[in-house]
Chain A
Amino acid sequence: MSTKSYREAIKDAIAQEMRLDDTVVVIGEDQRGGHGGHQPEVEALGGVLGVTKGLWTEFGSERVIDTPITESAIIGMAAGAAATGLRPVAELMFMDFFGVAFDGIYNQAAKFRYMFGGKAKAPLVVRGMVGAGFSAAGQHSQSPYHIFASVPGLKVVCPSTPYDAKGLLIASIRDDDPVMFCENKILYDMKGEVPDEPYTIPLGVANYTREGEDVTIIALGSLVHQANAAADRLAKDGITCDVIDPRTISPLDETAILESVAATGRVVIVDESAARCGFAHDVAALIASKGFDYLRAPIELVLPPHTPVPFSPALEKLWLPDAAKIEAAARKLMGA
């Protein structure tokens, strides 16, 4: 065990898998940084925010592949390589850029297995940042994992801690299906205990980060920590909560969610992906269709408004769900 940041845990996972498996390659923009610059021996960046810094120094340009700025070719190439024997870990930098590159995932990698009668696989990971709160404005703050999760054939992962990031990323790299690995940029500097050796966390197993009796709060990524904070405040007033972090949206741990709802009968779902047709609506539909009889009150959704992410911190603060909004929703359910 060591104390590691979320970003270190991610690098750790990739490095360890690259040591174990020669077919794992990293592909993306400035994964090294410095090619063609004036410092031929320097790993200048290691990803634009330095998350994977050190990989190029250890593995070299054949396995840490710097590309031009060309997301559609990055993802298309990763899909083709995945179908033919490599395990690419491709980086989209900001997941918002999926808009430039979606065909390789949406029409290609996600469909290979089914459309080719089970005769193909695409063991591909696409890493990218999600999340608002950085004043990065409308094209660098989004969390489009709900769009990914709507595509059959894609797995979607949203780790909330350094421990989860490492275990889920190793599982994603070893997984034979294409995985969209969504890193919340707000969490990169978060520290936590992380085992030094490789380990996996199975995709599709939720984590209870708080246990209680009155309300079930469901959240992903950085909002798990807001949900925990809300639960801790509520506990002081004798309202206890389950906080469930599904960790992966696809597959989704329906059992963990329904079990908790069966016990509490009250649900708050928190999310930043979308005010319409998002993660929260999917989970709410699950509960309404399979857990209706457990419910003692309508499901509460704590979501951003149906707007792009605003730049000004004054507006972005209002836009993002937070602990206070979650707490208010839980109190409303408790009638207090």
Chain B
Amino acid sequence: MVMQLDKDQLLQAYRKMSEIRAFEERLHEENATGDIPGFIHLYTGEEAIAVGVCQNLLPTDYIGSTHRGHGHSIAKGCDIHGMMAEVFGKDAGVCRGKGGSMHIADLSKGMLGANGIVGGAPSLAIGAALTAKTLKNGGVAVSFTGDGGSNQGLVFEAMNMATVLQLPVIFIFENNGYGEGTGFDYAVGGRDITKRSSGFGMPSIRVDGTDFFAVYEAVSEAVDRARTGGGPTSIECMAYRWHGHFEGDPGLYRAKGEVAGLRKNHDPLKIFRDKVRDQIKASELDKIDAEVTAQVDDAVKQARAAAYPPAENLLADVYVSY
């Protein structure tokens, strides 16, 4: 598998994961200063899912995301400076400061939006898939949903619709073991998201979501199927969330030492580095990390210095015309 991707592609995948890591870890620090408004949900530990999915997509394909959407947004090509400014509530933000962390979107990049409504993405994604199918443009759509979100009724309805209409859509389930403070094994009846999706009549598999290559391979097959009229696929990606549900969550539902163990044994970036050891020198990856750190640093500096939205923006963009 490692062989199918050329070195540039591997470096690009690593850079995206590194960007997500740096963005999230920096936000963790910045949030402690009290200067970030509202709630933020960090994606650290799940980088290989977003990147493993989006490396298979074209800019014209669509993704629909979750409340934990920074990683998906970066992987799909949203501008890091614009995202950072958005999180800080500034006019230079990708959504002009109107959406914030939980609503980052950029349709020009095929990013249909993070979502404050858990389970919100699958129905939007089948909509994007319907557009692609109707316009016969070969596009595909991907929805991201958590293990917790997998229990929403609308998610089931979207999966059923996708098989009935044979839509070019991929349902990604990010199983990080928890929905807020409730364990997956409590909340998901049958404890098997993959089996549920296959009950709707679509190919469904479970992969290691901390392994970029496992995700990439599964999604690549699903994308081929979708682009050639083969209908939907469901992929459950097992991974871990390193931070609290939101910044500020004391995580009382966790075992002692749980997070330290994740950082040590389930780090998607480390796993990637190990797998490409024979092709890519560690120093090359270190160089990427350093560039990305500088990029995120600059994004924070610019976001902090940027202006808040002017008063007249309050009334702008409710309707296209009125």
Smallest Cβ distance from A71 to chain B, in angstroms?
A: 8
The interface-forming segment of A175-183, A263-271, A307-315 is A307-315
B232 interface hit (Cβ, 8 Å):
no
Smallest Cβ distance from B103 to chain A, in angstroms?
A: 6
Q: Are A135 and B103 in contact (CB under 8 A)?
A: no
How big is the A interface, by class?
A: 35 or more
Q: How far is the CA of A165 from the CA of B39 in the complex (A)?
A: 26
Query: Known: A137-B102, A312-B309. Contact between A97 and B117, CB under 8 A?
Result: yes
Q: Are B151 and A69 in contact (CB under 8 A)?
A: yes
B221 interface hit (Cβ, 8 Å):
no
B188 interface hit (Cβ, 8 Å):
yes
Q: Are B182 and A66 in contact (CB under 8 A)?
A: yes
A36 interface hit (Cβ, 8 Å):
yes
Q: Is the interface of A mostly helix, strand, loop or mixed?
A: loop
Q: Is the interface of B mostly helix, strand, loop or mixed?
A: loop
Q: Which of B91, B186, B313, B318 contacts A66 (CB 8 A)?
A: B186
Q: Which of B98, B102, B119, B255 contacts A312 (CB 8 A)?
A: B98
Smallest Cβ distance from A254 to chain B, in angstroms?
A: 33
Tell me the nearest residue of chain A to B102, going by C-beta.
Answer: A137
A283 interface hit (Cβ, 8 Å):
no
A221 interface hit (Cβ, 8 Å):
no
Query: Known: A39-B253, A68-B188. Contact between A136 and B311, CB under 8 A?
Result: no
How big is the B interface, by class?
A: 35 or more
Report chain B residues within 8 Å CB of A33.
180-182, 252-253
The interface-forming segment of A42-50, A112-120, A123-131 is A42-50
Tell me the nearest residue of chain B to A42, going by C-beta.
Answer: B252
Q: Are A319 and B181 in contact (CB under 8 A)?
A: no
Q: Are A30 and B180 in contact (CB under 8 A)?
A: yes
B200 interface hit (Cβ, 8 Å):
no
Q: How far is the CA of A192 from the CA of B284 in the complex (A)?
A: 61
Q: Which of A45, A68, A310 contacts B187 (CB 8 A)?
A: A68
Q: How far is the CA of A48 from the CA of B318 in the complex (A)?
A: 31
Q: Which of B89, B102, B119 contacts A314 (CB 8 A)?
A: B89
A140 interface hit (Cβ, 8 Å):
yes
Report chain A residues within 8 Å CB of B253.
33-34, 37-39, 42, 44-45
User: What are 6 A-B contacts with C-beta separation under 8 Å?
Assistant: A29-B179, A33-B180, A35-B183, A38-B183, A305-B314, A308-B318
Smallest Cβ distance from A317 to chain B, in angstroms?
A: 10
Q: How far is the CA of A71 from the CA of B153 in the complex (A)?
A: 9
Report chain A residues within 8 Å CB of B188.
68
Report chain A residues within 8 Å CB of B116.
96, 137-140
Query: Known: A44-B181, A73-B153. Contact between A39 and B89, CB under 8 A?
Result: no
Query: Known: A37-B178, A69-B119. Contact between A314 and B183, CB under 8 A?
Result: no
A70 interface hit (Cβ, 8 Å):
yes
Smallest Cβ distance from B129 to chain A, in angstroms?
A: 22
Q: Which 5 A-B pairs rank lowest in CB-CB distance, beginning with the nearest?
A: A36-B183, A36-B186, A37-B253, A135-B37, A139-B116
Q: Are B182 and A36 in contact (CB under 8 A)?
A: yes
Query: Known: A68-B148, A136-B39, A315-B314. Contact between A36 and B187, CB under 8 A?
Result: yes
Report chain A residues within 8 Å CB of B100.
135, 137, 311-312
Q: How far is the CA of A99 from the CA of B38 in the complex (A)?
A: 21
Report chain A residues within 8 Å CB of B103.
137-139, 311
Smallest Cβ distance from A143 to chain B, in angstroms?
A: 16
Tell me the nearest residue of chain A to B99, going by C-beta.
Answer: A311
Q: Are B97 and A72 in contact (CB under 8 A)?
A: no
Q: Are A311 and B98 in contact (CB under 8 A)?
A: yes
Q: How far is the CA of A67 from the CA of B181 in the complex (A)?
A: 12
